[in-house]
Structure 1
């Protein structure tokens, strides 16, 4: 069938501009949007459409402005960085051979709509490449003559090609999209809809009344405030419908049959690609295939002010459109006989490395039962070994114990490299089934995370779409969703094979793309090889060890918290003069701002007065009630998150609580934890310390806590090389007192508690980019006084000021900052025109090297301590990591040895210009040890 591709050029230009970091070529010319569009065009050409067009808006007014002068009146002018990329984009579009269309008096949408309907009428398979929801009104399934119209959004990979797909996304059919848009309005185009009518309400009305005319006719019967809003909007709804309807009868010089690809202008492309630094495109132009791309083409091609890998969101891949081979379907086998298993064991032994994945009946690795395993030895060549599917009529499967026994020598062979995606989960599951996996060499989640922690999500589905252009099978497609979702053990084995073998296959394909990129960036590869990968089995052991919990203590704390919550409720009712629901933001909003007339200093994204923690803190000095509400919320959170929840999380098989640590959870490299989240237990409050008392040592054992002392300030001293700060740490003085003595011109023994508190606020505030305004609020002083404090600080520690400015400058020039060990944090907003976004990126540029270095140091310490513990696991276990602290459970008589060896390895985890000090404590519970 003849294929016609219509590209919404305006949509992609703007989306690429906002999706990509502010890239530049060697001459400093902006290239980010251009880069994204060019890669999308190259991907389109690889599909070899019969006809195609790149459609742009023409300059000047359109018929819609004549109908409604305020149409698009609220749109800001095009940013200069984007305007500079329009002409080179047009030049590349034409040099690539794309027919370029711009028609005065109408929008690009109307030109595309006209050509799409003409093409479908001629029996063409029409694809509109866009991210604009308005085009959903044009979707047409295949007609009797074969003609069809589909939308493809290469930003997200979504495809709309039938009534069902449009209904699934918007809740209405394609023929109802215009009416939906008329009711909702369009803030981008300045078309006002029915106030408070979002997509769900509009879809609901159209479901009940069929059309916009039906909704208008029924307006008098629609109750409530939304009904009033509808009736108020009735006069403008017909105009709305006309404004959002794509015109499909534009007079054009030729039809879709005239839009055959033109011959490429190779010389012009060569010059343009060289000018803008598109080296991979140039290599392809000169005869090299996409597979010949340098491992990290971007490091060779661009003067970078943005992200380094996997940053082209518009094409779904890294620095180029995905190679077709990467997105091709695989050939998958189901292993049901011993002969098949023997064959695959041989293939796994012969493979240089292989990918594996486990399928289970639970997301909790400490409770999950193994249902099957999948393996891949080469892209597209994978198999699934079902072991515990149990639905009626299930085919005979190999005995699980026997199959695992056959696999055990291979999986436990440290000389046989293995790879996975978030493999820590699989290591847990296999360990609980008797296999201690060795030789776990690569993890695609961590490869992606180290390459660029801020680029995107690092789950398999997202990575497959981004780097391979591959749409994976989702779990819900084989197991259902919601209340009807079944366990994987009940999934038909044929379906399970497609899903599970694909997981292993895609893991190997991703590794083949990501690994060369890491190899091309030695500092990043070092972070991956020496920190992140060795940490995987360490975290798995810590999670498996778990921690002992005193349930009786938690019950007592829950009862106490409940009493105090009730007292807070009673006090709040007394202050308000009436009863109200403290958990209802709507009731709080009415009480605080409508009745008590307190100022709404913090707003929600929709402009309503906020009742979140920051909003209540901002007005807590003006009335007692906000402080009582904050107290109530704090108590409620502690009870629901910890004192009530922790007993429910005790594993029945181990009698302990097992948290899950996430290496890719924070962009700076810090570990996060869930189920339970141990990072957020308050340490500065008595209630938080009480919760730590419920983390206890078993009889005959002790808990030992080892905590880095002021590690980020020490890193600041090292990175800034400020003599005064270095001297203070070398002397072993109280750093906050030493700072206060410098700032206030006193002897250290004369520093008052308030002066030390001010110095501490400055020390930590500057690390997190706190302004004089923030410092003033923190200390309860005037902004001028706070500014004087900051000026005094910088006069005494000029190296800190110089370091902060250097970090801002490097971030602006390079687009990223680095930790001491080479981990990068990319700052996409560092050159943003929006001052707030830019200021936030600058704060991150200052803090990330310190916070990220601290994260690297404790990870290195965990690896070193775990290696020493290998010979002492009967005597001591590492059981928790929280911020800059490691917690151990140990035999009482082994405490002195553990303290000596653990603190020595923690102190040696980095060589700084100031001492790396570790504080430690011992107790029967975590609070005593801390």
Structure 2
């Protein structure tokens, strides 16, 4: 069967333009002219032509008025004039379309929609298969056998009555009536006030046609009925305005729309002028681009934009509809719930969100749930609003039972924003959600960890140009804040349903961007998304705390803090407040005349840890103050606080892990922050004694040995460093032997090994000779000699570091072994300090990020294995390069063997990964 593609050119030009604007990004050609909208249209055309249609037309609006303006003078009256930077792209677009060989149609007195409608029906009547390439919902009225709608930007297809009904809730022959009732703010067609798509579809489902809805207007109760009756007189005109004409007089038939031979020379000139490099490469090669190349070009990732190491925008970006306000509805009746469940069951994917009465997912009670199966529309199910006069709501247990089949169906794709919280909430309410497929927070984080904050409000602003309703807008803030259960259901619906809707919109944009970057998408699909349920289980498992041990430690710390205060008073010769920076500043620098080596941003003498460390060798008082602060921090952060964090329902402490925290991919934790428990001091290690195993069980700690150094050996391929690890020798001792010219490892002294260790780790973090000198207590010149000796013995490390700096300058980012990226905004900064910091990050990030990827891969693998041993062992903590398990005593050997093997096998490096393990009744013993 022959195929005709009708391209809604005007729609795509505007959508591409507004999509780029929504992100605050502008593509420009080599001469500085705007090219964003043009870029989007060109890539859509290339994709269409690669499908080799028999006939094709590029249809645009003709200038001047149409018959609709005569019917309704205010038609489209609120549309602003075409922006200058968009107008500048119209002629280039037409030139490229002509050069590609596509017929361009523009007919005076009608819109592009009418031309497309006429051609579509003519072609279908002649047995030609028709595809209308558009994102305009009005065209759904044309869907019938042989006529399909395809949105090239989103990839969606609508080709049957069922597909139209699934999206709009009505049949194709009811779309005109639906649009008449809803109105269209973009075209300035006033509909029935407060009548959204759901209400319009409900009326048409009951009465069949617009005429019957008008005839029964008196039967519809409430304010919405009043609104309908007020609009009755203008609804017939609305129907005329929203009906696509299918009888336009045209001078060409569908068979006369064959694709002409393209003008290669003209295309070559145009593509070069506007900087479309991939299109130019495709033209020069004479071959069609691969699907991946097209996807990459759509995402703007191969375009060149002035001043950027990567392309500044994506053509696979949201259309204007993704920044428009949505239509939201509260589900408070059984028929509404039944309709929602039917929609969820028929949807390929849907976004969801939960509303609760607490930020702590382990204690939160469910107040409501929101769902979105398509962008611009969402519903909220209130389940626990209990303010005086609150409307009746569906029973929470009954709703959850009704939703359980779809929520626990692994084949039904769910997506959320920071969905780990929602997984906790649902699990606590009896639903173990399966099929959690996408998370917009993680899509953003993997796509570019440093481009934006990854909360929904920030992402909506950045990628959609959309200002979300803030929590404080509906619940207040500060002393006047109310619980979400007290928020009026109408307000709660606007806020909560928007969350689900915006999440789905963000996924449309961010998912497309990741799809165009195969390596980044692998990081997202193979590491970050599978880790979400793993972390949820670890958090839910929690860890037991020995309260008596913590109380003993708090008492001891308090006594030693008092001793430090007494000692400080003696050294100062007077009493003062050790916790007051102002009093410390006066005492140290005004009275004791100690040098000011570190200043605050305002130029005042600093009394922070760095400042006190810098002068600790000149007076004993700064050292005593540092000791006091260390003890106070341990007491306030851990020994006094951990017992208060025990969940009364579980008797355990449940930390929260954050995937989108550190740009390198390292996990962070909070409440409590386990990553910050000191391990280099006896007091810090002692806190681990309070993390205990229940009776009959043990804690097992498995820790990667020197993983970042091993990654350095892998990345640098330095022969000496690789050999040191392959031999299984003490790498710091081996380094010392190399640097200090020892014939055997036995000749290396303790100080020499200490110096080698400081160099090994220091270089990874960009330590200078000055920093090494301070750490080792030696002169700067001697430290510089040590570094020079190190590089002379390990030249591969030096080459790797220089190569990495240069790659970072060239590309603007560095990568881990698995393809995770860290963008370095300041790598070309003129400020030397900012540039040096970016260069240090460039060297460290591939190692720290690879280490993070490796332990995440290990966690995913081990969690899958533990699924069949849930009663014998569970993963309870992840800290830096260490995993901690709670294990039945008779299962310890099995767990140690399997966990160590799987951790060591989480990556294939040039040197072996080594895992150390320990067992004990508390974490300190096991570590």
How high is the TM-score relative to the length of structure 2? Answer: 0.70
The answer as to whether partners of 2:919 and 2:925 remain within 8 angstroms in 1 is yes
Q: 1:278: Cα distance to partner? A: 7.2
Closer, same or farther: CA 426–756 of 1 in aligned 2, 3 Å: same
1:910 aligns with one of 894, 907, 912: 907
The answer as to whether partners of 1:330 and 1:380 remain within 8 angstroms in 2 is yes
Aligned length: 685
1:827 aligns with one of 824, 830, 840: 824
Q: 1:592: Cα distance to partner? A: 1.0
Give secondary structure in 2 for the equivalent of 1:605.
coil
- Give the match for residue 763 of structure 1: 760
Q: What is the rounded CA distance, in whole Å, between the counterparts of 1:753 and 1:368 in structure 2?
A: 53
Give secondary structure in 2 for the equivalent of 1:430.
helix
Q: What is the rounded CA distance, in whole Å, between the counterparts of 1:621 and 1:613 in structure 2?
A: 14
Equivalent residue runs for 1:382-393 within 5 Å: 382-393=378-389
Q: What is the rounded CA distance, in whole Å, between the counterparts of 2:546 and 2:597 in structure 1?
A: 43
Give secondary structure in 1 for the equivalent of 2:634.
helix
- Give the match for residue 447 of structure 2: 451
Closer, same or farther: CA 799–275 of 1 in aligned 2, 3 Å: farther
Q: 1:295: Cα distance to partner? A: 6.7
Closer, same or farther: CA 336–270 of 1 in aligned 2, 3 Å: farther
Runs of 4+ in 1 over 4 A off after TM superposition: 33-39, 46-54, 91-96, 268-276, 278-282, 292-296, 303-309, 318-322
Q: What is the rounded CA distance, in whole Å, between the counterparts of 1:731 and 1:380 in structure 2?
A: 61
Q: What is the rounded CA distance, in whole Å, between the counterparts of 1:303 and 1:631 in structure 2?
A: 53
Q: What is the rounded CA distance, in whole Å, between the counterparts of 1:663 and 1:902 in structure 2?
A: 22
2:582 aligns with one of 556, 573, 586: 586
Q: What is the rounded CA distance, in whole Å, between the counterparts of 2:446 and 2:698 in structure 1?
A: 36
Closer, same or farther: CA 339–908 of 1 in aligned 2, 3 Å: same
Closer, same or farther: CA 587–408 of 1 in aligned 2, 3 Å: same
1:926 aligns with one of 898, 901, 923: 923
- Give the match for residue 798 of structure 1: 795
Matching of residue 687 in structure 1 with residue 688 in structure 2: no
Q: 1:596: Cα distance to partner? A: 1.1
Q: What is the rounded CA distance, in whole Å, between the counterparts of 1:470 and 1:512 in structure 2?
A: 14
The answer as to whether partners of 1:306 and 1:827 remain within 8 angstroms in 2 is no
Matching of residue 346 in structure 1 with residue 342 in structure 2: yes
Q: What is the rounded CA distance, in whole Å, between the counterparts of 2:472 and 2:606 in structure 1?
A: 36
Tell me the alpha carbon deviations over residues 657-686 of structure 1, each in whole angstroms, 9 at most, x when there is no partner. 000000001000000000000000000100
Q: 1:505: Cα distance to partner? A: 0.3
- Give the match for residue 895 of structure 1: 892
- Give the match for residue 502 of structure 1: 498
Give secondary structure in 2 for the equivalent of 1:881.
strand
Q: What is the rounded CA distance, in whole Å, between the counterparts of 2:298 and 2:642 in structure 1?
A: 46
- Give the match for residue 366 of structure 2: 370
Closer, same or farther: CA 757–293 of 1 in aligned 2, 3 Å: closer
Q: What is the rounded CA distance, in whole Å, between the counterparts of 2:370 and 2:550 in structure 1?
A: 42
- Give the match for residue 615 of structure 1: 611
Q: 1:580: Cα distance to partner? A: 1.1
2:721 aligns with one of 703, 707, 725: 725
Closer, same or farther: CA 24–469 of 1 in aligned 2, 3 Å: closer
Closer, same or farther: CA 638–432 of 1 in aligned 2, 3 Å: same
Determine which structure has more spread, i.e. the larger CA radius of gyration.
2
Closer, same or farther: CA 628–274 of 1 in aligned 2, 3 Å: farther
The answer as to whether partners of 1:858 and 1:909 remain within 8 angstroms in 2 is yes
Q: What is the rounded CA distance, in whole Å, between the counterparts of 2:774 and 2:418 in structure 1?
A: 43
Matching of residue 560 in structure 1 with residue 549 in structure 2: no
Q: What is the rounded CA distance, in whole Å, between the counterparts of 1:834 and 1:271 in structure 2?
A: 40
Matching of residue 302 in structure 1 with residue 298 in structure 2: no
Q: What is the rounded CA distance, in whole Å, between the counterparts of 1:631 and 1:579 in structure 2?
A: 17
- Give the match for residue 414 of structure 1: 410
Q: 1:469: Cα distance to partner? A: 0.5
The answer as to whether partners of 2:28 and 2:35 remain within 8 angstroms in 1 is no
Q: 1:320: Cα distance to partner? A: 9.6
Q: What is the rounded CA distance, in whole Å, between the counterparts of 2:786 and 2:524 in structure 1?
A: 41
Closer, same or farther: CA 524–644 of 1 in aligned 2, 3 Å: same
Q: What is the rounded CA distance, in whole Å, between the counterparts of 1:713 and 1:886 in structure 2?
A: 19
Tell me the alpha carbon deviations over residues 712-740 of structure 1, each in whole angstroms, 9 at most, x when there is no partner. 00000011111100100011000000000
Matching of residue 880 in structure 1 with residue 877 in structure 2: yes
The answer as to whether partners of 1:420 and 1:443 remain within 8 angstroms in 2 is yes
The answer as to whether partners of 2:545 and 2:692 remain within 8 angstroms in 1 is yes
Q: 1:92: Cα distance to partner? A: 10
Q: What is the rounded CA distance, in whole Å, between the counterparts of 1:528 and 1:337 in structure 2?
A: 39
- Give the match for residue 65 of structure 2: none
How high is the TM-score relative to the length of structure 1? Answer: 0.70
Q: 1:595: Cα distance to partner? A: 1.2
Structure 1 gap ranges (5+): 1-15, 40-45, 55-88, 97-267, 283-291, 313-317
The answer as to whether partners of 2:35 and 2:89 remain within 8 angstroms in 1 is no
1:779 aligns with one of 767, 773, 776: 776
Tell me the alpha carbon deviations over residues 20-43 of structure 1, each in whole angstroms, 9 at most, x when there is no partner. 99x998x8x9x8x9999999xxxx
- Give the match for residue 601 of structure 1: 597
Matching of residue 817 in structure 1 with residue 814 in structure 2: yes
Q: 1:302: Cα distance to partner? A: 2.1
- Give the match for residue 852 of structure 2: 855
Closer, same or farther: CA 51–907 of 1 in aligned 2, 3 Å: closer
Q: What is the rounded CA distance, in whole Å, between the counterparts of 2:653 and 2:704 in structure 1?
A: 25
Closer, same or farther: CA 651–38 of 1 in aligned 2, 3 Å: farther
Closer, same or farther: CA 377–725 of 1 in aligned 2, 3 Å: same
- Give the match for residue 701 of structure 1: 697
Give secondary structure in 1 for the equivalent of 2:657.
strand
The answer as to whether partners of 1:831 and 1:838 remain within 8 angstroms in 2 is yes
- Give the match for residue 231 of structure 1: none
Closer, same or farther: CA 888–683 of 1 in aligned 2, 3 Å: same
- Give the match for residue 657 of structure 1: 653
Q: What is the rounded CA distance, in whole Å, between the counterparts of 2:92 and 2:824 in structure 1?
A: 33
The answer as to whether partners of 1:827 and 1:845 remain within 8 angstroms in 2 is yes
- Give the match for residue 492 of structure 1: 488
The answer as to whether partners of 2:645 and 2:653 remain within 8 angstroms in 1 is yes
Q: What is the rounded CA distance, in whole Å, between the counterparts of 1:276 and 1:626 in structure 2?
A: 63
- Give the match for residue 251 of structure 2: none
Q: 1:576: Cα distance to partner? A: 1.1
Q: What is the rounded CA distance, in whole Å, between the counterparts of 1:726 and 1:280 in structure 2?
A: 40
Give secondary structure in 2 for the equivalent of 1:333.
strand
